[in-house]
Amino acid sequence: DVKVTQSSRYLVKRTGEKVFLECVQDMDHENMFWYRQDPGLGLRLIYFSYDVKMKEKGDIPEGYSVSREKKERFSLILESASTNQTSMYLCASSAGLFLYNSPLHFGNGTRLTVT
């Protein structure tokens, strides 16, 4: 079974802090994704990566950056956390050359609160 592990289930940070959310997958998947999920807004794509050191912006990249130095690890960085970044963050991975013709495997999320 594919396992996508997010380093923290809950995180509380202060406004202005630099925040790192880590995600590791164990199935040698090419593609990795970061989503945020908010009530009434659903899942929204922040960034994705289809290869090591490659990254692409999703629908809401502002205020975020990512890093993929190794195939199994995809990090989301909040350069200067703000209260509107309080959310559930979900990491996912998928196999294959094409991004969306195979299932996404999600981690269990990190609930981030910025105070």
Partner 1 sequence: SQKIEQNSEALNIQEGKTATLTCNYTNYSPAYLQWYRQDPGRGPVFLLLIRENEKEKRKERLKVTFDTTLKQSLFHITASQPADSATYLCALDVENQAGTALIFGKGTTLSVSS
Minimum Å gap between C-beta 97 and partner 1 is: 12
Minimum Å gap between C-beta 90 and partner 1 is: 5
- Pick 16 or 103: Cβ nearer partner 1: 103
Please, are residues 11 and 96 in contact by the beta-carbon 8 Å criterion? no
Extended strands (E) in the chain = 4-6, 10-13, 19-21, 23-25, 31-38, 42-49, 56-57, 64-70, 73-78, 87-94, 105-106, 110-114
- Pick from 12, 27, 41, 54 the residue near partner 1 by CB under 8 A: 41
- Pick from 4, 19, 32, 81 the residue near partner 1 by CB under 8 A: 4
103 binds partner 1 (CB under 8 A): yes
